[in-house]
Amino acid sequence: MFFMKTILVDGKSEKEFLKALKSRSGEVDKKVTETVSQIIEDVRLKGDEAVKAYTLKFDGKLPPAMEVSREEINDALTNADEKFVNALLNAQENIADFHNRQKHQSFLNPMSNGVILGQRIRGLERVGLYVPGGTAAYPSSVLMNAIPAKIAGVKELIMVTPPLKDGRANPDILVAAAICGVDRVFLLGGAQAVAALAYGTETIPKVDKIVGPGNIFVATAKKLLYGTVDIDMIAGPSEILVMADDTANPRFIAADLMSQAEHDRLASAILVTTSKRVAKEVEEEITRQVASLERREIIEESLENYGAILLCETADQAVELANSLAPEHLEVAMENPMEYIGRLDNAGSVFLGQYAPEPLGDYYAGPNHVLPTSGTARFFSPLSVDSFIKKSSFIYYTEQALREAKDDIVTIAEKEGLTAHANSIKVRF
């Protein structure tokens, strides 16, 4: 039987647990970095040849073709379960509605002195979407990455995904790709897929940005290639924090904690509560509910190592803890959840009330489920339309406007010792 820690928050007792929690996102194993670095270099130098060699090595066989035909993508949609397609379409509608509200307009600011300033916003030219295959194949991730990219105006969306054992693509992923308007799909995975997208090969187009989740090799490749190409974020293990008072339903809380614990043995699920009764009953509910869940072993290991029930004296203390931990997912199971919106500053996504469970955000409600982890919600934001755009400013000055500004510009340039900068202004007058 597993054991989930209960810790009385007193400013000291919880610190050891929080320290262990942070260790989950430690430095990547040097051997992983060395392996990934070699794969990246091979793909950079040898292109398709290296990609095929690594696909054969890691996946066991090469797919019939590296690119999935448009016909196969369309057939996957045609042959898919109608209930599944309708669910994806409903989710797509919600996700698109939310992300359409994030769009920004270019602007032009003409001034009375003839000066014109402005900003131009447009979508990236080409984006690569990495989608894991096998047991970790999540069509919802296709929706969450592809929809904001398309809304942002990305001209071409390239998806890469590892082939199944029969050498074909996961049909559920193809259904999501068809629904979201993914332009091209290629069958390759791992660090070699990330490198192929970053550098381009004879077959795989070079992209401007790579998004999407993956294993440690994929995450390391994205980290190493950042700068050669843009990336979304380096995602750590999944995490949830539930704030609860005595009005919360322990059955709901237990279920929500386990919904994140089942992701990964390193996942973190934490209850912060002001109620000893709720704490006790949540423990009992976890023991009862976990017995019928398929990923029981993963859930129990996750909860035992990185789960905890933190008992607070006040709601203010709970808020302070939540902001300190900056969790990926934050549920507020409090009597008046809406009153906490303005106080919870550090969280990827906040779920308010007992009928807004975390899986609602994972699949359906509309806000993105690609969220900052490992405390990075203190300074990172969820994936959004902004993640897929670039901005340029532009400046137009008349001769008279520059004449009026020239002395200030020259003064600053000369203070910095950049006399050629100053000369660029002086020479005009």
What is the rounded distance in angstroms from the CA atom of residue 273 to the CA atom of residue 321?
11
What is the rounded distance in angstroms from the CA atom of residue 284 to the CA atom of residue 217?
38
What is the rounded distance in angstroms from the CA atom of residue 153 to the CA atom of residue 157?
10
Instruction: Tell me the longest C-alpha to C-alpha distance in the chain.
Output: 83
Residues 24 and 374: beta-carbon distance below 8 Å: yes
Task: Write the secondary structure of 265-276 as one string of H (helix), E (strand) and C (coil).
Answer: CCCEEEEEECCH
What is the rounded distance in angstroms from the CA atom of residue 69 to the CA atom of residue 117?
46
Residue 172: partners with Cβ closer than 8 Å, 6 or more residues away: 80, 84, 137, 139
DSSP code per residue over 284-337: HHHHHHHTT-TTHHHHHHHHHHH-EEEE-SSHHHHHHHHHHH--SEEEEESSSG
329 catalytically annotated: yes
Amino acid at 124: L
Amino acid at 272: V
Catalytic residue among 99, 263, 329, 369: 329
Catalytic residue among 328, 331, 358, 369: 328
298-308 burial code (b ≥16 CB/10 A, e <16): bbbbbbbbbbb
Burial of 183 (0-12, 13-18, 19+ CB in 10 A): middle
For residue 65, give both structure tokens.
Answer: 């073709």
What is the rounded distance in angstroms from the CA atom of residue 261 to the CA atom of residue 322?
18
Task: Tell me which residues are annotated as active site.
Answer: 328-329
